[in-house]
A = this chain, B = another copy of it.
Amino acid sequence: MSHAIGIIGATGAVGREIISLLEFRNFPVKELRLFASPRSQGLSIPFLDQTLPIEPLSEKNLQGLDIAFFCAGSSISKQWIPLALQSNCFVIDSSSTFRQAPQIPLVIPEINGHMIQKTHRLIASPNCATTILLMPLFSLHRAFQAKRIVVSTYQAASGAGAHLLQELKQETKAYLENAPYTHHLPFPYAFNLYPHNSPLHPDGYVEEEQKMAHETQKILEDETIQLTATCVRVPVLRAHSLSANVEFKQPFTLDEIYQLLASVPGLALFEDRAANRFATPRDASGKNDIFCGRFRKDPTQPNTLEFWAVGDQLLKGAALNAVQIAERQVQL
């Protein structure tokens, strides 16, 4: 059985990856329809042996879809997902809109794929940094129970969309050529980094940091897990990195850690201690796996582990995870 599929936000960084993944993974596509904002109208995008036009979003246009991938941001999801659901479409939302709604599953298939049921019409896909943290963490949590996590992120430009990616490239080029450049951020981005600029809450944490805390609890199905994050945007084109310090309730050995991680699908240990070589964003760019390494016992506190994880936030952090959710649902 094959499906009529819509991608809402088809010209964005995540949308384009979903198109490639549907093709590359031989997803059973009967019809693919691409939606984007008015400024993308007139564009067309190749898929298999076709060239598909970009359509505008409308109530009528959304009809007849079996599966809709929403990757155009929160305001589009908020406005259009209720309409898509009315026509009995299965929706995978990559925005944060429904992630904390109690009745909506928030799914990383390798971790809690069992949450997806045949009757579900809407599944939320998590924040990219959360996914990169949880891919190495979930099996360790099941074995030793994570108690408190301190995480710092190193997030790539493309996590904020294709426009920031272009800004980074163009501004860096101008900087190296001593050419003038009017940057769109309130500060230069070339060879620079900055605390994540999602909305700042009165408690001093930005939304991105709060997402990591809340989504970790929901995906691991444990509201007692405490997580505090510092999210930072770095001058990297693609792939997020993070350092994590995790206190567990139970004692562990590093041998047990490496053994548990050896068999996690979608996770790859990337380290060569003899060569002092660990995963970098350029290693992870374009790869489906989340890379992890630098596992070490934190000597400053009992039962505490530190590690390093890197992943392509457009793939497992967004597009791949959404496609995996769809793959799982159509197999039910």
Interface residues of A (CB under 8 A from B): 148, 150, 152, 154, 168-169, 172-173, 176, 186-188, 191-195, 197, 199-200, 203-206, 226-228, 230, 232, 234-237, 241, 243, 245, 273, 275-278, 280-283, 294-301, 306, 308
A-B contact pairs, 28 of them (CB 8 A): A148-B301, A150-B150, A152-B243, A168-B191, A172-B172, A172-B176, A187-B277, A187-B280, A187-B282, A191-B235, A192-B281, A192-B282, A193-B241, A199-B276, A200-B276, A203-B297, A204-B295, A204-B306, A205-B296, A226-B299, A226-B300, A228-B298, A228-B300, A228-B306, A230-B243, A234-B234, A234-B235, A235-B236
Determine how close the nearest CB of chain B comes to the CB of A124; give it in whole angstroms.
Answer: 24
Contact B188 A152 (CB under 8 A): no
Residue of B whose beta carbon sits closest to that of A276: B200
Residues of B contacting A297 with CB < 8 Å?
203-204
Determine how close the nearest CB of chain B comes to the CB of A167; give it in whole angstroms.
Answer: 13
Residues of B contacting A273 with CB < 8 Å?
200, 204
Copies of this chain, tallied across the complex:
2
Contact B205 A281 (CB under 8 A): no
Residues of B contacting A226 with CB < 8 Å?
299-301
Q: Do most interface residues of chain A lie in helix, strand or loop, or is the interface mixed?
A: mixed
Known contacts A172-B176, A197-B276: does B148 contact A306 (CB below 8 Å)? no
Known contacts A205-B296, A243-B152, A296-B203: does B228 contact A278 (CB below 8 Å)? no
A186 to B227, CA, bound (A): 34
Known contacts A152-B243, A200-B273: does B236 contact A193 (CB below 8 Å)? yes
Residue of B whose beta carbon sits closest to that of A310: B193
From B199, B237, B294, A195 is in contact (CB under 8 Å) with B294
Residues of B contacting A236 with CB < 8 Å?
191-193, 235
Contact A186 B277 (CB under 8 A): yes
Determine how close the nearest CB of chain B comes to the CB of A197; give it in whole angstroms.
Answer: 6
